[in-house]
């Protein structure tokens, strides 16, 4: 039997990293957990070039190595590069022109490597799979890319159609975890390609083991999906406002708004209130308009007169409101702390304002220098408060989760005795 012939389903670990040394260590831990094939991920190839493939080949002489080059042109030249660096399988984009695919296949035959076609972003993946098989590719990868996953795409439904139409082995990729891998194998996938769920885990070996176990006793029971709102909420419970800020490229964080209830996290959807210096009527009326799980977000603009205090906070608790944010001052901090509701504000003062009744409830406002519309997601913790526009809530929650996973892995590597700059090769990545 050659090193490519597997009877069991194949787990291909996708090393989507930027540094070869980390990739080698993570590959080692993945293989200990039961992964089979090693993919030199596209980001790694772009970061370190063909040398990443050479190094992985040197370290893992007996393993199948896939060069995820996502070839779009010059099929022959790039397959030759991958082959000469030590790859067994080279990846070409399924959306590349047939001339590129054919040249890749010809070069593959010449240099003894197989060709995998990646269906990422293909308009008609099933029809293209049939064409690719006729053209002569060796494997097809049904793939929802990382950015597509963040918007809720997944690859399993298309993969199930593709396996019915082609007889070459079908791989599947796109945010797979143990349960989706199991479903994929039960539905006909021969290769499961797993990146984030293994390589960004703080315990790579345990995560690979869990996937090994799931693909070796696959279940066709579809993974039960929760509603987008439930999924968003569940993810937001796991991540910090720092993770969310990173996911939003530093957009979304309110300025000069601080927690009055250290240690309390707040997640909810905005009911907005525009008021004017110390006028507390609209702020308090908003409590009756808000529903369970909402966050009342108030622009007031005074550091010296408070539109919010203990009585309003207790009223919120009675209605199941998730918390309050005030661009301005609050008072009765001792009472607020006893009540225990998360309250965020610019500062605290003893002075109350007046219920004059100017302003509006549920118009677009600016709070902490951020635009907030009714229904936007508001998350607060000890780092501060961030706003996620409702239209991007699912995507940003998913991206924040990826940030959190990446950090968990970095924590693990630092715990092993390294430093942040060593792990991240900071000097190499300084801007030139
Ligand atoms: O190919 C991939 C992606 O385009 C980045 O290069 C990933 O390796 C593939 O999607 C698997 O990774 P996960 O989706 O994180 O499991």
Nearest-atom index, ligand 1, CA of 144: 10
- What is the average pLDDT across 164-192? 97
Please determine, for the modelled complex, whether the ipTM score is greater than 0.95: yes
Say how far apart CA 184 and CA 157 lie, in whole Å: 9
| Position in ligand 1 atom list of the atom nearest CA 196 | 15
Nearest CA to ligand 1 atom 10: 174
- Residues of each domain in the chain carrying CATH 3.20.20.70: 10-225
pLDDT-based confidence at residue 3 (cuts at 50, 70, 90):
very low
Per-residue confidence band for 224, with pLDDT thresholds at 50, 70 and 90: confident
CB 348 within 8 A of CB 329: yes
The CATH architecture of the domain made up of 10-225 is Alpha-Beta Barrel (3.20)
Task: Name the residue of 145, 153, 198, 210 whose CB sits within 8 Å of the most ligand 1 atoms, as the mutation to test its pocket.
Answer: 145
Q: How far is the CA of 145 from the centre of ligand 1 (A)?
A: 6
Which positions ≥6 away from 142 have C-beta within 8 Å?
Answer: 119, 125, 129, 155, 158, 159, 162, 170, 171, 172, 173, 174, 189
Confidence grade of residue 219 (pLDDT, cut at 50, 70, 90): confident
Interval between CA 291 and ligand 1 midpoint (Å): 40
pLDDT tens string 380-417:
999 999 999 999 999 999 999 999 999 999 999 999 99
Reference 160, options 220, 246, 103; nearest CA is 220
| Full 3-state SS string of 136-171 | CCCEEEEECCHHHHHCCCCCHHHHHHHHHHCCCCEE
- For residue 372, pLDDT over 80 is answered with yes
Mutate to test the pocket of ligand 1, among 11, 13, 16 (most ligand atoms within 8 A of CB): 16
Helix (H) / strand (E) element for 379: namely strand 377-381
pLDDT band at 220, cuts 50/70/90? Answer: confident
Q: Is the pLDDT of residue 2 over 60?
A: no
How high is the pLDDT of residue 4? 43
Q: What is the spatial distance between Cα 379 and Cα 386, in angstroms, rounded to a whole number? A: 5
Residue 6: name the closest of 49, 79, 64 by CA: 64
Dihedral (CA of 404, 208, 121, 124) sign? negative
Q: Which atom of ligand 1 is nearest to the CA of 143?
A: 10
User: Radius of gyration over alpha carbons of the chain, in Å?
Assistant: 26
Reported confidence tier of residue 278, pLDDT bands at 50, 70, 90: confident
Looking at the chain, the whole-number percentage of residues with pLDDT higher than 70 is 98
- Position 238 pLDDT exceeds 70: yes
According to DSSP, residue 391 is labeled G
What confidence tier does 5 reach under pLDDT thresholds 50, 70, 90?
very low
- As a whole number, mean pLDDT of residues 249-259 equals 97
Per the CB < 8 A criterion, the answer to whether 352 and 266 are in contact is no
Residue 195 CB: number of other CB atoms within 10 A? 22
pTM recorded for the entire structure:
0.91
Percentage above 90 pLDDT, the chain: 94
pLDDT 10s digits, 93-128: 999 999 999 999 999 999 999 999 999 999 999 999
Assign a CATH topology to domain 231-394.
Answer: Glucose Oxidase; domain 1 (3.50.30)
Q: For residue 114, what are the β-bridge partners?
A: 89
Cβ neighbours of residue 224 closer than 8 Å, sequence gap 6 or more? none
Phi, psi of 113 (to 5 degrees): -120, 155
Q: Does residue 419 have a pLDDT over 80?
A: yes
- The Å distance, Cα 172 to ligand 1 centre, comes to 10
pLDDT at 323: 98
Among 14, 117, 204, 405, the mutation site with the greatest number of ligand 1 atoms within 8 A of its Cβ is 14
53, 193, 313, 371, 373 from 40: Cα distances, Å: 6, 12, 54, 42, 43
Residue 325 CA from chain centroid, whole number: 27
Residue 44 has pLDDT above 50, yes or no: yes
Distance 117 CA to ligand 1 centre (A): 14
The stretch 144-167 carries a mean pLDDT of: 95
Ligand 1, atom 6: nearest CA belongs to which residue?
42
How confident is the prediction for the chain on average, in pLDDT?
Answer: 96
Q: State how far the alpha carbon of 364 is from the alpha carbons of 273, 316, 359, in Å.
A: 9, 21, 12
Kindly list the protein residues whose Cβ atom lies closer than 6 A to any atom of ligand 1.
14, 16, 41-43, 68, 143, 145-146, 173-176, 193-197
Side-chain-facing half-sphere of 314: CA atoms under 13 Å: 7
Measured CA to CA, the distance from residue 385 to residue 398 in angstroms comes to: 18
The segment(s) of the chain belonging to CATH 3.50.30.40 are 231-394
- Rounded mean pLDDT, 207-225: 88
Nearest to 396 by CA among 384, 407, 388: 388
pLDDT at res. 225: 78
Tell me what pLDDT residue 221 has. 76
């Amino acid at each position: 039997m050659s090193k490519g012939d597997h009877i069991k389903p194949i787990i291909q670990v996708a090393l989507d990293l930027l540094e070869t040394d980390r990739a080698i260590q993570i590959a080692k831990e993945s293989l200990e957990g039961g992964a089979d094939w090693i993919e030199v991920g596209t980001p790694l190839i772009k970061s370190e070039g063909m040398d990443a493939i050479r190094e992985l080949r040197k370290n893992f002489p007996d393993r199948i190595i896939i060069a995820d080059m996502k070839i779009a042109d010059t099929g022959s030249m790039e397959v030759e590069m991958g082959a000469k660096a030590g790859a067994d399988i080279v990846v070409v984009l399924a959306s590349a022109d047939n001339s590129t695919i054919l040249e890749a296949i010809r070069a593959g035959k010449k240099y003894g490597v197989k060709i995998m076609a990646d269906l990422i972003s293909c308009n008609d993946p099933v029809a293209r799979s049939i064409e690719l098989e006729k053209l002569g590719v060796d494997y097809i990868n049904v793939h929802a890319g990382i950015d597509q996953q963040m918007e809720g795409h997944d690859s399993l439904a298309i993969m199930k159609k593709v396996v019915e139409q082609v007889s070459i082995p079908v791989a599947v990729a796109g945010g797979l975890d143990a349960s989706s891998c199991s479903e994929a194998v039960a539905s006909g996938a021969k290769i499961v390609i797993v990146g984030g769920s293994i390589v960004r885990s703080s315990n790579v070996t345990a995560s690979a083991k869990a996937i090994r176990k799931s693909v070796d006793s696959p279940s066709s029971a579809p993974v039960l999906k929760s509603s987008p709102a439930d999924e968003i909420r569940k993810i937001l419970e796991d991540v910090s406002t720092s993770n969310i800020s990173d996911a939003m490229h530093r957009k979304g964080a309110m300025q000069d708004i601080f927690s009055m209830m250290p240690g309390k996290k707040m997640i909810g959807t905005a009911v907005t209130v525009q008021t004017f210096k110390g006028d507390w009527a609209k702020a308090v009326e908003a409590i009756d308009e808000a529903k369970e799980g909402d966050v009342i977000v108030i622009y007031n603009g005074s550091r010296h007169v408070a539109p919010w205090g203990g009585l309003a906070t207790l009223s919120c608790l009675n209605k199941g409101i998730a918390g309050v944010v005030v661009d301005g001052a609050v008072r009765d901090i001792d009472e607020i702390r006893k009540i225990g509701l998360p309250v965020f504000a610019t500062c605290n003062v003893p002075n109350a304002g007046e219920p004059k009744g100017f302003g509006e409830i549920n118009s677009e406002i600016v709070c902490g220098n951020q635009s907030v519309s009714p229904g936007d997601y508001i998350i607060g913790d000890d780092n501060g408060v961030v706003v996620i526009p409702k239209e991007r809530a699912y995507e940003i929650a998913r991206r924040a989760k990826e940030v959190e996973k990446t950090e968990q892995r970095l924590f693990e590597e630092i715990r092993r005795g390294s430093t942040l700059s060593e792990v991240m090769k900071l000097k190499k990545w300084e801007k030139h």
